[in-house]
Amino acid sequence: MIPRRVRLLFLTLLPLTLAAEGKVPPIWPQIQGIFPRGGQRGAAVKITLKGRNLQQTRELRFRSPHLTARVLSATPYQVEALVTLAPSAEPGRHDLRLLAPHGSAIGYFDVGTVAERTEKEPNNHPAQAEPLPFPALVNGILTAGDYDYFRLEAAAGQTLTFDVLATRNGASTDAALALLNEAGDELAFSDDYYGFKDPHLRYTFAKTGRYLLRVHGSSEAGCDTCDYRLRAGTMPHVETVIPAGGQPGQPTTITLRGVNLRHLAGVTLGDGLAEGEVLTATATEATVRLTVPPHAAPGVYKLHGRDALLPASFVVSTFPEFAVADGSARSRKDPLPVTLPVIANGILNRPRAADHFAFRVDGPETVVLEAHAMQLGYLTDPLVALYDESGNRLAWQDDPTTNTGKEPANLDPHLVFRLPRAGRYTAMIRDAQFRGDPAFLYRLTIKKAEPDFSLRVVGTDDTLYRGRTNTILVRVRRLEGWNEPVEVYVPHLPPGVSVQPVVAEPKNTPYTGTCGETHYLDGTNVEMQITVAPDAPPLAGHLEFRGRSRGVERIARTRYFRARIRHIGDAEEDHLRVTIADAPGAVLTVPPALALGKDHTAALTVIVTRLDEGRAEPLDLAIEAAADGLTATAAPVPPTTTRAELRLRAEAKAPGEFVVVARRAGAVIGRSHPIRLRSPQ
Amino acid sequence: MKPLLLALLPLTASAASLSIQPPRIVLHGPHATQLYTVTFTDNQGYEHDVTTECASPNPARATMRAVAVSCRGLRATAPVIIAPAARAPGISFVNDVSPIFTMSGCAGANCHGSLRGQRGFKLSLFGVEPKLDFDAVAAQRINRQQPEQSLLLKKATAETGHGGGLRFAADSLQYRTIRDWIAQGAPYDQDDSVRAVSLRVYPEERILLGPQQKQQLIAVATYSDGSVRDVTRLVQYSSNGPDTAQVTANGVVTALEAGETAIMVRTMGQAVAARILVAAGPTAADYPRLAANNFVDEHIFSKLRRLNIRPSGPATDSEFLRRVYLDTVGLLPTEADTRRFLASTAPDKRRAEIDRLLNRREFAELWALKFTELFRAGTREAGAKGARIVYNFIRDSFLANKPYDRFVREILLSQGAHSFAASSQDGLPNAPTSFYNISFDSNAPDHATNISQLFLGVRLECAKCHNHPWEKWTQDDFYGFAAFFARVGIKEVYENDENATQYMEEGAVEHPKTRKKMVARVLDGKQVPDSQDADIREELAAWMTAPDNPYFARTMVNRVWKHYFGRGFVEEVDDFRVTNPASHPALLDALARDFAAHRFDLRHLMRTILNSRAYQLSAEPSPSNRSDTINFSRFPIRRLLAETLLDTMSQATGVPEKFPGYPPGTRAMQVYAAGAGGYLLSSFGRLSRDILCERDAQPDIAQTMHLISGATLQNKITQAAFDPALSNEQLLEQIYLRSLVRLPSAAERTAVLAMAKAGDRRKVFEDLLWAILNSKEFLYQH
């Protein structure tokens, strides 16, 4: 079996990590907002993380050694920390892991290259617009109904780019962007820029003058943690790279297309993996010589133009690559001949464009047509087809998986087809919607099939509770004709942890759609039962999931899944991070604040989840850590009751905050977050 | 045939004449007959039915070589052509018996033609499925041994109890036909493919001069074997306007009161109409000469002249300015604009103002909202984001004066992600990609229904379930048209709940009865076979937007005309059919030709209409045109659009509206999402967009109550700022100019100033604003 040398793109998995017994409420750390969500490299920035269960946070950790963080303070709802960014830190998004004794969580942090500032309210009307000197990077928050106005000046013929980084960076902000003239007329507008909800505008001004930029929540949506990072200016902006990949050790000349490229000073591959030399540059195109180092591992890297607005994707692979000259493969009757394996990098530069490649096989052969476009951030939604010598279409594929509500879509086709006999065949690629544009780039890999499988763990972090069996889902995906069972197991188990191997049969997991129809996941889900002994020692480390079949062994990678923004992707760390902790006997879910005036009473609803299974005693609820003058009365909570009510009375004004505790037979078995008391409106 | 350009005929004295209709009589077989009419044309050009006075013998028979009539000192002839008998001898169920069910009303929607039939007897609606009708009749309702005892006949003659009463008498032609058919064994046609393929009525249009004037209609059917037949006694007649003219079962039309109507004539799945115009009398000798600004006026005034209706006088500058602003940009002119216009003495100032308005951004926004609503943007999954993209696309198209054919082509061929809006400079197609999702359910028949209605003015929907009862469209036509959209699908894509419209690799539409895979076919036209690598919607778009397409340009012209006049030539605007003829067919055609000839330039079309005298007539009725509602003899008064009303309230008070989800400063006309904008907009007719329909322009009590005491107006009035630097008189003028686009009259001035002097100035002017904004002068377009 030839192992897969390149596996860029992957299966998708559900973010389900379940406890085998009674479901544990989310008492592990959850990050809801980070502000500012980035900083300029070479600087230090104080950030605030907001969320739940953040108490006792002891560390914020980056994978990149160029980024460090120090926790300054931590409460259940908020962590403050100082992040130091080395001048050598790679621009772009980085995983930021929060570590606490009861679990861990991942957020994102963006490294920028220009000086940053924070928007200043009030800036809700054009008359209050803030100046926006270029290059600009503004960190802002969009509350509900909030409008942030910025004023700028532009010269006739000048091209400016505006980019709002929000959902791509883990924020739940659904932002929109409008460029207005001085009279308030809308010149350009962007809400969702293609595959993500972040707006993005490029605009060439016809007249010299003053203009306004408006950032706001789509339909005025917003929240206290809905942050954004607005980048704007005349900086170089690379939209396409062709070829968008190269082989290790091979020098390659790549063409960058975009705007404001005339002064592009150079490019950097990944985290300083290689430097590219600019050979020629015009406003819209630059050529760069780049040598991928021989030791570079296959995978997707970011290509950073120096001081550029955004990075572009660049793939290191071991297959021969070539750039398709514009229009050279447009004919079905006269396709461009290629030899397998090969990666064609092309642009569908006009509507209805389709590129065709002819190849030969010497006998019956299973071949693969694999397109990469949307997963690399390009606009093309590819469709591939395979034709025989007579022009008959043998097979086609559009989307391997669409968004069925169970899992996100994978719109880049991966067609595997058995050719019946030796001969000349033609592979075709086009945009599925017949669109075309100079930015419609694709990478098409044509090769013989290499049957293989891959594994993914959904989620990056998990808390395993002592004395309980915890379930973790692993998705096994069979590739290019692999049709054998795969045994999934966990080697190198920590003390006190046990898990039985599970066999994934070669059959995709079915599920029922909302109308009762049957769908299949893109692979087979297996449930790994992780049992933690009551006396298992503390652990803050990793679990490695592996799969083996017919002598082939693969290690599972982890993927994050951000349900609120339906965002899925590879985590920087390969393995699932686990924390072993004690589950409390009862979890008390309470609101973060309660309105209560002096000499008034109020009802506090407490959701009680009992994890002390099998115990029949009732619970007593009480308050703790309360300031003088706050009293509470409550009836015992029977074992089967999940909703209780405390009557509170305040005899003093603004008595501060308090905690609800649950006692069983006098012993505290659960404790709520602090509840802030505030005066009624 | 009488040309449909009747209304354009010069009304000059000419020689009287006599004519016969049909002008050429064809008789198939020795027993065939043909009724005919004799028309006397007087020296004013009016036509009179003199058949009963002059025609004898009638009908024409095969023994005659020609019909010759001498009457009133004139003579007319029509040749009689004897052709071979068309069909086998005997009575045909399909072509003789089945039509009786339609003409007698048995196959109507309220009787046995209803969905479930009546009392166990079900006929196809208007006889469009004769085989089904035969099966229903032959099963239990005939007695071959004793035809007269057949239940079918006993019920129809009311000899036994019949909920529908007497349908025909025992000595009638209908009775004899059915009885004889039963007597010959009640067979079904050996070749039932010989069907009526067209129907013609004589005359197609006629002016009747005053009440009680009569006109005999003649109906002639053409069959699929090429034969023709007099079916005057075999068709069903009905009047679209029974107050204007009535029609008997034998096709005799009687005028009742001045107006215009269509007489529907139908049988065997075919339907046509005769236009009947009832004039109060011939053109008076002192009828004024009316100057025309352009060909629109020539058509409008010519018809008015023939109907002896005198148009109202021209609108004043103030009336014109207010009207053209509201209709064109949905706003009132500013005080400065009004003063400038009223003070101008330039002879072409109206033309210049029209040009200015057609270039304003608000003009594009008004039409963007209209089409956004027609496209039902913002419903279903695309939501407000999708609606915004559709709105922006339309707005930008109007701003750029994109030719209408290109605009529609881009919509028809749209594909891509629904929430993705390319920047206007990205070079990417910035099309309303959610058109196929938010407008309709995602299936081909719905696309066919809606696209034909929206862009072609053809309501195909009936033919989805059965052949169209009032039109020629069959189920084959419907599903052939739907096949263009067989591969249009919606796919869920990306990570963020995005959807995309896509022309799929595969897809087919089946005929629901035959289960046959349909080949796409344009209406009345060629088939377009599906092709693996082609998007056959391109063929459809090419056909639809061709300059000579019989529906495309006319539909948009009609829609635009309705926008400016409150009534289309064809009503409803999207219901073009032969049985719903246009009020001004020649003008409609002329505007459509002009529209196409100018590369579907919408601004040109609108400019032509706005510059016409017809548009610039006063809304004040005269004794001559008081009862006229369809000939555009005065400017029709109508309620303002909901968005225009709210925006002009904001203008008049100086208090803008804040719409949730939209930036401050947004006007109602810019609120693109479905269901947005608040109570005032919905109560004044803003659509929920659940279905494709036009707005209801009728006033109701809820609207009145909301204006009188609702929060919208109250808040604006109480927040209105009255400039303390202005004197009472200056403030009075400002309020009148801002809200009514005129200066106050002397009486108004005196009354208000007296009150302001005596009382609380703010309260007086608040009351004045309330009164003005509740007045018909403000609330109505006039």
d(CA B773, CA B760): 20
d(CA A672, CA A667): 15
**Which chain A residues are Cβ-neighbours of B427 within 8 angstroms?**
437-438
Same domain as A344, residue A297: no
Interface residue A196 vs chain B (CB under 8 A)? yes
**Contact check, Cβ <8 Å, A379/B416:** no
- For residue B107, the model assigns a pLDDT of 85
Q: With H, G, I as helix, E, B as strand and everything else as coil, classify residue B70.
A: strand
Q: What is the DSSP annotation of B523-544?
A: TTS-EE---TT--THHHHHHHH
Same domain as A377, residue A417: yes
* pLDDT of A259 over the 60 cut: yes
Interface residue A544 vs chain B (CB under 8 A)? no
> How many C-beta atoms surround the C-beta of residue A653 within 10 A?
12
Residue A542: give its domain's CATH number.
Answer: 2.60.40.10
d(CA A72, CA B370): 57
- For residue B406, the model assigns a pLDDT of 96
Q: What is the pLDDT of residues A434-455, one digit of tens each?
A: 888 888 999 999 999 999 999 9
**Contact check, Cβ <8 Å, A219/B428:** no
Please name every residue paired with A44 in a beta bridge, in sequence order, or none if there are none: A84
> How many C-beta atoms surround the C-beta of residue B100 within 10 A?
25
What b/e readout covers B224-238, taking b as 16+ CB neighbours within 10 angstroms?
A: eeebbbbbbbbbbbb
The topology under which CATH files domain B4-86+194-279 is Immunoglobulin-like (2.60.40)
Smallest Cα distance from A192 to chain B, Å: 5
How confident is residue A4, by pLDDT bands cut at 50, 70 and 90? very low
CA-based nearest residue in chain B for residue A216? B663
What's the rounded mean pLDDT across residues A621-642? 84
Find which of A179, A240, A435 to mutate to test the B interface (most B CBs within 10 Å of its CB). Answer: A435
Q: Please identify, among A214, A233, A252, the residue that sits at the C-terminal boundary of a domain.
A: A233
Smallest Cα distance from B673 to chain A, Å: 10
Q: Does A373 reside within a domain? A: yes
A104 CB-contact burial (10 Å; exposed 0-12 / middle 13-18 / buried 19+) = buried
- Of A107-121, A238-252, B416-430, B591-605, minimum mean pLDDT range: B416-430
Residue B302: which H helix or E strand, with range? Answer: helix B295-306
Half-sphere exposure of A631 (CA within 13 A, CB side): 6
**Contact check, Cβ <8 Å, A399/B505:** no
* Residue B438 phi, psi (nearest 5): -85, -20
- For residue A13, the model assigns a pLDDT of 30
* Residue A177 phi, psi (nearest 5): -135, 135
Mean pLDDT of chain A: 90
Q: Does A346 reside within a domain? A: yes
**Contact check, Cβ <8 Å, B494/A411:** yes
Q: What is the pLDDT of residues A472-495, one digit of tens each?
A: 999 999 999 899 999 999 999 999
Residue A126: which H helix or E strand, with range? Answer: none
- For residue A678, the model assigns a pLDDT of 85
Segments of A145-284 assigned E as strands: 147-154, 159-165, 175-181, 186-190, 200-204, 209-217, 227-233, 237-242, 245-246, 251-259, 267-269, 274-281
Same domain as A482, residue A568: yes
Total structural domains within chain A: 6
Q: Is residue A10 within 8 Å of residue A452, measured between CB atoms?
A: no
**Contact check, Cβ <8 Å, A191/B421:** yes
**Which chain A residues are Cβ-neighbours of B498 within 8 angstroms?**
192, 195, 403
Percent of chain B whose predicted confidence (pLDDT) is above 70: 93
Same domain as A445, residue A336: yes
Q: Is residue B671 within 8 Å of residue B662, measured between CB atoms?
A: yes
Residue A226: give its domain's CATH number.
Answer: 2.60.120.380
CA distances (Å), B594 to each of A188, B564, B605, in order? 34, 18, 8
Query: Angle at which helices B552-565 and B404-412 pack, to 10 degrees?
Result: 110
**Which chain A residues are Cβ-neighbours of B494 within 8 angstroms?**
194-196, 374, 403, 408-409, 411
Half-sphere exposure of B497 (CA within 13 A, CB side): 12
**Which chain A residues are Cβ-neighbours of B535 within 8 angstroms?**
434
Beta strand pairing call for A30-35 and A103-112: unpaired
Give the closest of B421, B494, B495 to A189, CB-based. B421
CA-based nearest residue in chain B for residue A149? B663
Most confident of A497-501, A536-540, B108-112, B691-695: A497-501
Same domain as A98, residue A31: yes
What's the rounded mean pLDDT across residues A288-292? 96
Please name every residue paired with B80 in a beta bridge, in sequence order, or none if there are none: B25
Smallest Cα distance from B663 to chain A, Å: 8
Same domain as A609, residue A522: no
Q: Which residues, 6 or more positions from A328, have their beta carbon under 8 angstroms from its beta carbon? A: A336
Structure-derived torsion over alpha carbons of residues A664, A666, A669, A673, reported in degrees to the nearest 10: 110
**Which chain B residues are Cβ-neighbours of A410 within 8 angstroms?**
none
Residue A564: domain span: 453-581
Interface residue A220 vs chain B (CB under 8 A)? yes
- For residue A402, the model assigns a pLDDT of 66
* pLDDT of A18 over the 50 cut: no
Residues of chain B with pLDDT under 70: 1-13, 86-88, 379-382, 420-431, 438-442, 467, 469-470, 493-498, 691-692
d(CA B609, CA B598): 14
What's the rounded mean pLDDT across residues A199-207? 94
Q: Write the secondary structure of A439-467 as one string of H (helix), E (strand) and C (coil).
A: CCEEEEEEEECCCEEEEEEECCEEEEECC
d(CA B522, CA B454): 15
Interface residue A394 vs chain B (CB under 8 A)? no
Find which of A149, A161, A194, A348 to mutate to test the B interface (most B CBs within 10 Å of its CB). Answer: A194
Amino acid in the structure at residue A221: A
d(CA B27, CA B61): 8
Same domain as A241, residue A227: no
- Under the phi-then-psi rule, with left for phi > 0, alpha for psi from -120 to 50, and beta for the rest, what region is A157? left
- For residue B429, the model assigns a pLDDT of 52
Q: Which residues, 6 or more positions from A349, have their beta carbon under 8 angstroms from its beta carbon? A: A326, A327, A436, A437, A438, A440
**Contact check, Cβ <8 Å, B428/A435:** yes
End-to-end alpha carbon distance in chain B: 40
Same domain as A98, residue A154: no
Q: What is the pLDDT of residues B620-676, one digit of tens each?
A: 999 999 989 899 999 999 999 999 999 999 999 999 999 999 999 999 999 998 777
* CA of residue B405 relative to chain centroid, distance: 20
Same domain as A176, residue A246: no
d(CA A490, CA A278): 47
Please name every residue paired with A69 in a beta bridge, in sequence order, or none if there are none: A83
Q: Which residues, 6 or more positions from B577, have their beta carbon under 8 angstroms from its beta carbon? A: B271, B458, B459, B470, B471
- For residue A11, the model assigns a pLDDT of 28
Tokens of B462: 């009936």
Q: Does A18 reside within a domain? A: no
CA-based nearest residue in chain B for residue A564? B496
Q: Please identify, among A112, A129, A145, the residue that sits at the C-terminal boundary of a domain.
A: A112
- For residue A553, the model assigns a pLDDT of 97
Q: Verify cis geometry, omega within 30 degrees of 0, for the bond prior to B59.
A: yes
Interface residue A192 vs chain B (CB under 8 A)? yes
- For residue A405, the model assigns a pLDDT of 58
Smallest Cα distance from B389 to chain A, Å: 9
CA-based nearest residue in chain B for residue A380? B416
In sequence order, which ranges of B3-90 are alpha helices (DSSP H)? 51-54
Give the closest of B417, B424, B661 to A188, CB-based. B424
**Which chain A residues are Cβ-neighbours of B389 within 8 angstroms?**
191
**Which chain B residues are Cβ-neighbours of A398 within 8 angstroms?**
491, 502, 504-505
Side by side, the strands of the sheet bearing A586-589 are A586-589, A600-610, A643-650, A630-633
Smallest Cα distance from A409 to chain B, Å: 5
Same domain as A478, residue A574: yes
CA-based nearest residue in chain B for residue A397? B505
Q: With H, G, I as helix, E, B as strand and everything else as coil, classify residue B480.
A: helix
CA-based nearest residue in chain A for residue B419? A192
CA distances (Å), B213 to each of A638, B49, B244, B257, B625, in order? 92, 9, 11, 10, 21
Q: What is the pLDDT of residues B301-356, one digit of tens each?
A: 999 999 999 999 999 999 999 999 999 999 999 999 999 999 999 999 999 999 99
Find which of B493, B531, B537 to mutate to test the A interface (most A CBs within 10 Å of its CB). Answer: B493
Interface residue A188 vs chain B (CB under 8 A)? yes
Smallest Cα distance from B410 to chain A, Å: 12
Chain length of chain B:
782
Q: Which residues, 6 or more positions from A235, have their beta carbon under 8 angstroms from its beta carbon? A: A114, A134, A135, A161, A260, A307, A308, A309
**Which chain A residues are Cβ-neighbours of B493 within 8 angstroms?**
195, 381, 399, 402-403, 409, 411
Q: Write the secondary structure of A25-67 as one string of H (helix), E (strand) and C (coil).
A: CCCCCEEEEEECCEEECCCEEEEEEEEECCCCCCEEEECCCCE
Residue B79: which H helix or E strand, with range? Answer: strand B74-83
**Which chain A residues are Cβ-neighbours of B420 within 8 angstroms?**
192-194
**Which chain B residues are Cβ-neighbours of A147 within 8 angstroms?**
663-664
Q: Please identify, among A51, A78, A112, the residue that sits at the C-terminal boundary of a domain.
A: A112
> What DSSP character marks residue B299?
H
**Which chain B residues are Cβ-neighbours of A408 within 8 angstroms?**
494-495
Give domain limits for chain B.
Answer: 4-86+194-279, 93-183, 298-312+546-636, 363-544, 639-781
- For residue B11, the model assigns a pLDDT of 47
Tell me how many residue pairs between chain A and chain B have CB atoms under 8 A apart: 123
CA-based nearest residue in chain B for residue A144? B661
Amino acid in the structure at residue B674: A
> What DSSP character marks residue A114?
S
**Contact check, Cβ <8 Å, A204/B498:** no
Compute the C-alpha angle A570/A575/A576, nearest 5°.
95
**In chain A, residues 437-466 whose CB comes closer than 8 Å to chain B:** 437-439
CA-based nearest residue in chain A for residue B362? A185
d(CA A233, CA B168): 85
Give the closest of B392, B492, B505 to A402, CB-based. B492
Compute the C-alpha angle A561/A563/A568, nearest 5°.
30
- For residue B172, the model assigns a pLDDT of 86
Amino acid in the structure at residue B392: N
Segments of A328-364 assigned E as strands: 336-337, 342-347, 354-361
Q: Verify cis geometry, omega within 30 degrees of 0, for the bond prior to A135.
A: yes
Q: Write the secondary structure of A509-567 as one string of H (helix), E (strand) and C (coil).
A: CEEECCCCCEEECCCEEEEEEEEECCCCCCEEEEECCEEEECCEEEECEEEEEEHHHCE
B640 CB-contact burial (10 Å; exposed 0-12 / middle 13-18 / buried 19+) = buried
Q: Which residues, 6 or more positions from A393, have their beta carbon under 8 angstroms from its beta carbon? A: A385, A386, A387, B532
